[in-house]
Amino acid sequence: MDVTNRRTTATRRRPVKRRRARRRRLSARKRAALRLRRRLMLRRVLIGAGAVAAIAALAVLLPMTTAQAPVCAADPTSFPTAGIEGWQGEQLENAATIVLTARELGFDRAGQVIGVMAAMGESSLRAIDYGDWETSRVTNPDGSRTSSIGLFQQQEWWGSAEQRMDPASSAALFFDRLARLPAWHDMEPSLAIHRVQINTDPAHYAPFRSDAEAIVDALSGTCEVTG
């Protein structure tokens, strides 16, 4: 091979080597970009996992920080101004009256919860002076007007209007009938109330159970004796 042919061959080989070097450089860049992409993805995963863990911790801690400390049922000034489960003011005072009346008559927590549930379902814990006739023109089975009033929406055969409108007296009337209900303690609370109130829907009071339990528990605090 002469000198000219050697130069030609060398010239042909140089582009090949350059292309290979370029490919190696490109491959190195791709590998670096891939490593960077992986690091970014890992960082995102870690950040996401940390956020999930923080939210989970907050969900656990929040109920602990917002739980209502028990207060004295006989002292309305100790009731939380923000209310309990959305019930506040006059409603909490009436619930406290029901709880205190139940205690005086010997009813335990279950009976107290049933009493509060009943008043929630009947009047939203308000001693209202009207009932189903005034709001919906509901009549009794014999066609006569219903005469329901008060916390428990009791009709005239329960007692006088004064008794039915007084929270403590109306609660006592309710618990008197509950006590005469055989095995009420073994019944579902809503069914026990239904048997006392004789309403149309046995499950009507069930949605109020958790709120009633929260209120009864919140009103279970020790009352300070003064004087």
Domain ranges of the chain: 76-218
Residue-wise DSSP of 156-193: GGGS-HHHHHSHHHHHHHHHHHHHTSTTGGGS-HHHHH
pLDDT at 25: 57
Strand partners, 220: 72
Q: Using CA atoms, how far apart are residues 170 and 67, in angstroms rounded to an integer?
A: 30
Residues 24-68 have pLDDT tens digits of 555 666 776 667 777 767 677 566 666 556 555 555 544 444 556
Residue of higher predicted confidence among 48 and 11: 48
| Range with the poorest average pLDDT among 107-116, 131-140, 193-202 | 131-140
Residues 140-193 have pLDDT tens digits of 888 888 899 999 999 999 999 999 999 999 999 999 999 999 999 999 999 999
The CATH number of 76-218, from 1.10.12, 1.10.760, 1.10.530, 1.25.10, is 1.10.530
Amino acid letter, 37 = R
pLDDT at 108: 97
pLDDT at 65: 42
Report the SS3 class of residue 116.
helix
Q: Which residues contact 159 (CB under 8 A, 6 or more apart)?
A: 169, 170, 173
pLDDT at 64: 44
pLDDT at 69: 82
Residues 67-89 have pLDDT tens digits of 568 999 999 999 999 999 999 99
pTM, 2 dp: 0.70
Q: Which residues contact 95 (CB under 8 A, 6 or more apart)?
A: 87, 116, 119, 125, 215, 216, 219
- How far lies 192's CA from each of 69, 104, 117, 154, 186, in Å? 29, 20, 11, 16, 9
